[in-house]
Amino acid sequence: MDPKAIEFPESSESTERELKKEWHRTHPFRNSAFVKLWLGQLLGLPALHIVFFAMIIQVFHLTGSNGLVGTLIAVISIPPILFSSIGGVLADHINRKILMVGSNAARLVFAILLFFFHDSVLAIMFLSFGIASLTFFFQPAENSSIPGIVGKKNLLLGNSIYMFTFYVATFLGYTIAGPAIEWIGVKTLLMVVIGMFGSATILDVLLPKLSETKWKHAKLDLGETARRTWHGMREGIVAMKGHHALQLTMLQLIYIFNVERAIVALVPDLTLNYFKISIGQISLFLIGPLGLGAALAVVAVHAINRRFTKRQIINAGMLGNALFFFLLPIAAFSSTIFNGGGQTPLKILSMIVLALMAGFADILIMVTAQTLLHEQVDDATRGRIVGNLLALMNGLGVPVILLIGWLTNFVSAPHVILGTGILTFGIWWVCASFSKKELVRAETKRRNK
């Protein structure tokens, strides 16, 4: 046989080189459509959170009312309840590029209106609600466009880049907003936001067509969608029947999620009037450490999960939040009484440490609760139940936010937060006692076998 006729398999080294070339050739960042989508996200998402933070500070600056700040946060919290289901349906029925361009262009218009009417509390409420509502039409279209842009081979990498950017951009938006307000003022900052929304809209216009669905095929029964949303929220509750540990976990998650959003309404008053720090320092000494604590928890939660039960981890997170709510107002009071409101390294350090602890505790609760939910809920209904529980969490949060915000008309912000800390300690003690009984019951059952 002629040796030249024999075909030898390609060396593994050569194959590896070819695979690397193919990976670099098909990488999402070599895909111009994905780069445009990603840059749009990198501009639009921080703009969204910058404008919300700026308007929270602006309402407090105009009125000095925690109740009105709480009302603004409640107004921003309503769109997820009303429009999250509708936005998802539209993303499946209308060309996603059209939906993204239209939503971003409308957010741009609302931001321009905010520039002219940012001294009116009523206008801020209305326009912030509009921007928040449009976001729940934009995000489902943006997210569901990724598979069609990057293809199946790069879907995991594309989603990873998207989610990483989502969290980083959200964190940066809130962190940058405070110093930016201090350095350039609300009006100039709104001009920057207008530029960011405008650039994001242009990038969306440059995207290719993202689906073949025509306008004439889009049929949406708003009444039916509202009924499905209501029944879905009920389904999320019914699905947890018989899962006592899961019920307790979800109640803890709902409590922490909503109380923390309500406490946000008190942050301008607490920090500016009691800690006596500037708007820019709110981002640096409170919001930044919260994000850093959350990032540290993401890294550590897997190792912690190997050493402790999920119930123990969630209860530890509850204890961390209770300490945060309890000690933060005490630090504010002591700062005012002993330091005359002046800045001291100890005051700043206490705020940073408490914020780090709260961010760490939040992730312990959220990640572990989500894992527990995934483990105990049937795969066929898991997606609906998770979505419906999120809607339920937002729905229950609106009255809590309003209550805590307006309560400060009668009691000071530090006293309200201190009371929240005492209540959270009580909830932690009840949950820890329940978990201990569950462990004893499980151990007794194991021995009897």
CATH code where residue 107 lies: 1.20.1250.20
User: Is it the case that residue 442 has pLDDT exceeding 80?
Assistant: no
* Residue 216 belongs to some domain of the structure: no
Q: Count how many residues are written for the chain.
A: 449
| Tokens describing residue 219 | 């049929």
* Residue 44 belongs to some domain of the structure: yes
Eight-state DSSP code of residue 6: P
* Residue 227 belongs to some domain of the structure: no
Do 386 and 238 lie in one domain? The reply is yes
CA distance 177 to 112: 18
Do 246 and 336 lie in one domain? The reply is yes
Do 116 and 242 lie in one domain? The reply is no
Do 326 and 276 lie in one domain? The reply is yes
Residue type at position 204: D
Position 163 confidence tier, pLDDT thresholds 50, 70, 90: confident
Do 315 and 177 lie in one domain? The reply is no
Average pLDDT over residues 337-344: 55
Eight-state DSSP code of residue 27: -
Would you give the distance in Å from CA 391 to the centre of its chain? 13
User: Which residues are CB-neighbours of 361 under 8 A, at least 6 positions away?
Assistant: 293, 297, 316, 317, 318, 319, 320, 321, 324
CA distance 346 to 326: 17
* Residue 180 belongs to some domain of the structure: yes
Average pLDDT over residues 344-368: 86
Q: What is the pLDDT of residues 5-15, one digit of tens each?
A: 544 455 555 55
Q: Which residue has the higher pLDDT, 160 or 138?
A: 138
Q: Which domain-ending residue is among 209, 241, 275?
A: 209
User: Is it the case that residue 419 has pLDDT exceeding 90?
Assistant: yes
| Tokens describing residue 96 | 């996603």
| Tokens describing residue 405 | 């915000």
DSSP letter for each residue of 98-111: HHHHHHHHHHHHHH
Number of domains observed in the structure of the chain: 2
CA distance 173 to 425: 32
User: Is it the case that residue 342 has pLDDT exceeding 70?
Assistant: no
Do 319 and 189 lie in one domain? The reply is no
Average pLDDT over residues 370-377: 70
Q: What is the pLDDT of residues 27-51, one digit of tens each?
A: 777 788 889 999 999 999 999 999 9
Inter-axis angle of helices 413-448 and 244-264, nearest 10: 170
User: Is it the case that residue 227 has pLDDT exceeding 90?
Assistant: no
Do 204 and 236 lie in one domain? The reply is no
Which pLDDT value is given to residue 107?
95
Question: Which of 186-195, 240-249, 356-365 is predicted least confidently?
Answer: 240-249
**Among the listed residues 41, 87, 49, 27, the one whose alpha carbon sits nearest the alpha carbon of residue 203:** 41
Do 256 and 202 lie in one domain? The reply is no
Q: What is the pLDDT of residues 58-79, one digit of tens each?
A: 999 999 999 999 999 999 988 8
Which pLDDT value is given to residue 130?
94
User: Is it the case that residue 171 has pLDDT exceeding 60?
Assistant: yes
User: Is it the case that residue 322 has pLDDT exceeding 70?
Assistant: yes
- The answer to whether 372 touches 245, Cβ cutoff 8 Å, is yes
Do 303 and 358 lie in one domain? The reply is yes
Which pLDDT value is given to residue 215?
43
Average pLDDT over residues 291-306: 83
* Residue 4 belongs to some domain of the structure: no
* Residue 13 belongs to some domain of the structure: no
* Residue 29 belongs to some domain of the structure: yes
Q: Which residue has the higher pLDDT, 251 or 217?
A: 251
Which pLDDT value is given to residue 384?
57
User: What three-state secondary structure class fits 378?
Assistant: coil
Q: Which domain-ending residue is among 163, 194, 209?
A: 209
Q: Which domain-ending residue is among 140, 174, 209?
A: 209
Do 183 and 312 lie in one domain? The reply is no
User: Which residues are CB-neighbours of 132 under 8 A, at least 6 positions away?
Assistant: 52, 75, 76, 78, 79
Which pLDDT value is given to residue 327?
93
Position 249 confidence tier, pLDDT thresholds 50, 70, 90: confident
Which pLDDT value is given to residue 368?
83
Which pLDDT value is given to residue 8?
46
Which range of residues forms the domain containing residue 351? 232-449
* Residue 362 belongs to some domain of the structure: yes
Do 144 and 178 lie in one domain? The reply is yes
Q: What is the pLDDT of residues 99-135, one digit of tens each?
A: 889 999 999 999 999 999 999 999 999 999 999 999 8
Do 81 and 145 lie in one domain? The reply is yes
